Chain A
Amino acid sequence: MLPGVVGLVQATEAVKLLLGIGEPLVGRLLTYDALGMRFREVKLRRDPKCPLCGTSPTIKDLSIHVDGGAACAIG
Chain B
Amino acid sequence: MWGNHYSPDRKWGNILTMKTLKEMLAEARRVVPEEGPADLERRLKSGDKVVVIDVRDPDEFRDGHIEAANNISRGFLEFRIGTAVTDPNTPIVLYCQTGLRSVLAAKALRELGYTTVINLQGGYQKWVQSGLPVVREVPMTPDQIQRYSRHFLLAQVGDKGQRRLLRSKVLLIGAGGLGSPIGLYLAAAGVGTLGLMDGDVVDITNLQRQVLHTTADIGKAKVESGTRTIKAINPDVNVIALPMRITVDNVMDVITDYDLIVDGSDNFETRYLVNDACYLAGKTNVHGSIFQFEGMATVFVPNEGPCYRCLYPTPPPPGLVPS
Q: CB-defined interface of A34-75 with B at 8 Å, one 1/0 digit per residue? A: 110000000011110111111000011110111011011011
Q: Are A3 and B295 in contact (CB under 8 A)?
A: yes
A residues contacting the other copy or chain, number (CB 8 A): 54
Check A65–B272 contact: CB distance below 8 A.
Answer: yes
How many residue pairs link A and B with beta carbons under 8 A? The number is 199
Size category, B interface: 35 or more
Q: Which of B50-58, B132-140, B160-168, B225-233 contacts A (4 or more CB under 8 A)?
A: B160-168
Are B178 and A53 touching (Cβ within 8 A)? no
B-chain residues with CB within 8 Å of residue A29 when the two chains form the complex: 296-298, 311
Chain B residues with CB under 8 Å of A1's CB are 209
* A40 CB, min distance to chain B CBs, angstroms: 9
- CB pair B295 A5 closer than 8 Å: yes
Contact of A33 among B186, B280, B293 (CB under 8 A): B293
Q: How far is the CB of A5 from chain B (nearest CB, A)?
A: 7
CB-based contact A3/B209 at 8 Å: yes
Q: Is the CB of A19 within 8 A of B156?
A: yes
Is the pair A9, B297 in contact by a Cβ cutoff of 8 Å?
yes
Contact present for A3 and B181 (CB under 8 Å): yes
Question: Contacts A44-B305, A44-B311; is A32 near B295 (CB within 8 Å)?
Answer: yes
Taking a contact as CB atoms closer than 8 A, the residue among A2, A19, A45, A68 that contacts B310 in the complex is: A45
For the complex, what is the distance from the CA of A9 to the CA of B299, rounded to whole Å? Answer: 10
CB contacts under 8 Å to A, within B292-322, are 292-307, 309-311, 313-315, 318
Most buried by B among A4, A7, A22, A60: A7
Residues of the B chain whose Cβ atoms lie less than 8 Å from the Cβ of A17: 260, 284, 286, 299
Supposing A2-B290, A9-B297, A22-B156 touch, asked if A65 and B306 sit within 8 A by C-beta, the answer is no
Q: A51's contact among B189, B277, B296, B309, by CB below 8 Å, is which?
A: B309
- 18 of the cross-chain contacts (CB-CB < 8 Å) are A3-B176, A3-B181, A3-B209, A6-B290, A10-B178, A11-B185, A15-B186, A17-B260, A18-B168, A25-B298, A26-B300, A29-B298, A32-B295, A33-B294, A53-B279, A53-B303, A65-B272, A74-B309
14 more contacts with CB within 8 A, not counting A10-B286, A15-B165, A52-B275, are A1-B209, A6-B290, A7-B180, A10-B288, A14-B262, A31-B296, A32-B296, A33-B293, A34-B295, A44-B298, A45-B310, A52-B279, A59-B276, A72-B272
Binding site for A on B (CB under 8 A): 156-157, 161, 164-165, 168, 170, 176-182, 185-186, 189, 191, 209-211, 247-248, 251-252, 259-260, 262, 264, 268-269, 272-273, 275-277, 279-280, 284, 286-290, 292-307, 309-311, 313-315, 318
A-B complex: 4 closest residue pairs judged by Cβ atoms: A3-B177, A7-B181, A6-B295, A65-B248
